[in-house]
Amino acid sequence: MIDIKLIRENPKKYHDGAIAKNLGVDIDKLLAVDKKLLAGKKQLQQIATEKNAIGKSIPKLSAEEKPEALAKLADLKSKEAASNEEVNALQPQYDDLMGKVPQPASPDVPYGEDDTENVKLRKWGTIREFDFTPKDHVELGLDLDIIDIERGVKLAGTRNYFLKGDGAMLHWAVLRFSMDFMIERGYTPMAVPLLMRDEAMRGTGYFPGSEEQTYQMERDGLNLVGTAEVPVTAYHSGELLKEDMLPIKSVAMSTCFRREAGAAGKDTRGLYRIHQFDKVEQVIIAKNSEEASIEYHKEILANSEGVMQAIGLPYQVVNVCTGDLGRGQVQKFDIEAWMPSRDSYGETHSASRFYDFQARRMNLRYKNSEKKNVFCHTLNNTVIASPRILIPILELNQNEDGSITIPQVLRKYLGGKELITKK
RNA sequence: GGAGAGGUGACCGAGUGGCUUAAGGUAACGGUUUGCUAAACCGUCGUAGUGAUACAAUCGCUACCGGGGGUUCGAAUCCCCCCCUCUCCGCCA
């Protein structure tokens, strides 16, 4: 949600911002509705003032004066009803339009249509050259009996899988390593509910817009989250925080559910695009400050790069272009890990900053030093998402005999094991 | 699933038709006292919208006691619908 005052002051910025993001919103119409709505509300206010004045005088009036006053009131009431009807008709239009106005991207964001126009910022690590023909993670997993996609599909449909033995252990190892990594950096670990009310989905900006991507429990009016960002960011929604509580840095591990509607036929092989995965997510709730937001954005990106470097996965960081940004995001940096089987970098992390877009929607505020109530800023980033991250881990660490060398930092989570071999 | 209770300001909690923005308390802020801390005492302390003035200070108006509607000259207070929370019983990881 954007502050209507800012839109009134600078409609062009929001109009152009929406176009850059490929998200159509009729700003002119919004302003027209806003103008009418405001006029209607002012009129209602004026009527109320008169009504209140007459109402207050009633007990003091004489018997002769009373009927006149009551007649006046009746007249005002009918006027009020008419204005009210107008306002009630306009309000939903206004709310609908307002809910769709995107947060304009930062000037640092490259202009572009879609993910093909994202701009590479930097690369880390060297891409391994194989002196044998490498297998992809599906083959490796099958041969080692640590990934079973066939039975996942048999029991749960396409894009489902089982992890077994060291596969399951490796999956948990990256998650636990990531949790430990973040906790050491001062982030508060959270275990969170995964079924969220619509309100939380709206507050974080997923609704309206991503209903198709969400598993909805219609009978209960709840939604399976696609990321722990939802419960963690909305944790303090509707609250007035104290300034000295900020920033609140949290890290949560959760299962994530995505319908992948509209992705039919895309990334169908292996563990890349699946309906259910586990993710460690970092969230920062911060003061309302652009500079601070930018700083924290760097911090959460650095955290994730730190994890990638510790595991030893080559990656690149991209500055996501306008057309590939979500409605609320000011700027987004993706980390993409090198995946031999795709012969390219594949997205594994996504670091976003929102300014007060989410906070406004969920009424998340704090009292600042001037005793004013202001909306917080929110940010989030993946720390690690598995099993997608197992793709580069397995493929890059495979040996000619089909075994996998476990990255050093993960070994302690597999009882010190160094190698995954065929049983 | 059965039965009951309840949703009031940052928080707790009074308030059952009119001078109620809402008692009292906590927290916060300013001050007095004090060697320091604490305590005590005094004072300040709602949000949003809108208007006047210069976008500041300030002043005025309006709305807001879960949400929506109704009764009434007038509603936190009465009526209806919805949402949410809690308690007890049952079932159960």
A126-134 long-range contacts (CB < 8 A, ≥24 apart) are: A126/A314, A127/A314, A127/A338, A128/A314, A128/A340, A128/A396, A130/A340, A131/A400, A132/A400, A134/A340, A134/A395, A134/A398
Q: How far is CA A337 from CA A96, A224, A305, in A?
A: 38, 27, 10
Q: How far apart are CA A57 and CA A171, in angstroms?
A: 75
In this prediction, residue A125 carries a pLDDT of 97
Mean pLDDT of A247-263: 95
pLDDT over 70 (residue A60) = no
Confidence of residue A365 (pLDDT cuts 50, 70, 90): very high
Q: Are A73 and A51 in contact (CB under 8 A)?
A: yes
Question: Considering chain A, what is the average pLDDT of its residues?
Answer: 93
- Non-local CB neighbours of A133 within 8 Å, separated by 6+ positions: none
Distance B61 C1' – A232 CA (angstroms): 41
Q: Is A273 noted as a catalytic residue in this protein? A: yes
In the set A258, A327, A353, A365, the catalytic residue is A258
Mean pLDDT of A319-344: 96
In this prediction, residue A67 carries a pLDDT of 78
Confidence of residue A183 (pLDDT cuts 50, 70, 90): very high
Task: Tell me which residue of A292, A262, A266 sits closest to A347, measured CA to CA.
Answer: A266
Mean pLDDT of A336-341: 97
Q: Are A149 and A157 in contact (CB under 8 A)?
A: no
What residue spans in chain A does CATH classification 1.10.287.40 cover?
A: 4-100
Find tokens 């993946």 and name the residue.
Answer: A382
Distance B73 C1' – A74 CA (angstroms): 9
Q: Is A323 exposed, middle or buried (0-12, 13-18, 19+ CB in 10 A)?
A: buried
Which architecture, in CATH terms, is A4-100? Orthogonal Bundle (1.10)
pLDDT over 90 (residue A396) = yes
Is the minimum distance from the CB of A42 to strand B below 7 Å?
Answer: yes
Token pair recorded at residue A105: 């991207």
Is the minimum distance from the CB of A409 to strand B below 7 Å?
Answer: no
Residue A53: CB atoms within 10 A of its CB come to 9
Task: Tell me which residue of A398, A395, A402, A408 sits closest to A422, measured CA to CA.
Answer: A402
Q: How far apart are CA A204 and CA A183, in angstroms?
A: 24
CATH class of residue range A115-420 = alpha beta
Is the minimum distance from the CB of A158 to strand B below 7 Å?
Answer: no
Q: Is A243 noted as a catalytic residue in this protein? A: no
Residues A277-306: tens digit of each pLDDT: 999 999 999 999 999 999 999 999 999 999
Complex-level ipTM: 0.88
What residue spans in chain A does CATH classification 3.30.930.10 cover?
A: 115-420
The conformation of residue A226, written as its DSSP 8-state character, comes to S
Task: Tell me which residue of A105, A109, A85, A108 sits closest to A36, measured CA to CA.
Answer: A85
> Which A residues 200-239 have CB within 7 Å of strand B?
221, 239
Q: What is the CB-side half-sphere exposure of residue A242 using CA atoms within 13 A?
A: 2
Q: How far apart are CA A383 and CA A307, in angstroms?
A: 7
In the set A273, A299, A342, A411, the catalytic residue is A273
Share of chain A above pLDDT 70, in %: 99
Distance B27 C1' – A237 CA (angstroms): 20
In the set A210, A250, A341, A350, the catalytic residue is A350
Is the minimum distance from the CB of A188 to strand B below 7 Å?
Answer: no
Mean pLDDT of A78-106: 87
Q: Is A283 exposed, middle or buried (0-12, 13-18, 19+ CB in 10 A)?
A: buried
In this prediction, residue A59 carries a pLDDT of 67
pLDDT over 80 (residue A57) = no
Q: Is A350 noted as a catalytic residue in this protein? A: yes
Distance B81 C1' – A200 CA (angstroms): 25
Q: How far apart are CA A105 and CA A298, in angstroms?
A: 17
Distance B41 C1' – A366 CA (angstroms): 31
- Non-local CB neighbours of A197 within 8 Å, separated by 6+ positions: A221, A222, A223
pLDDT over 90 (residue A79) = no
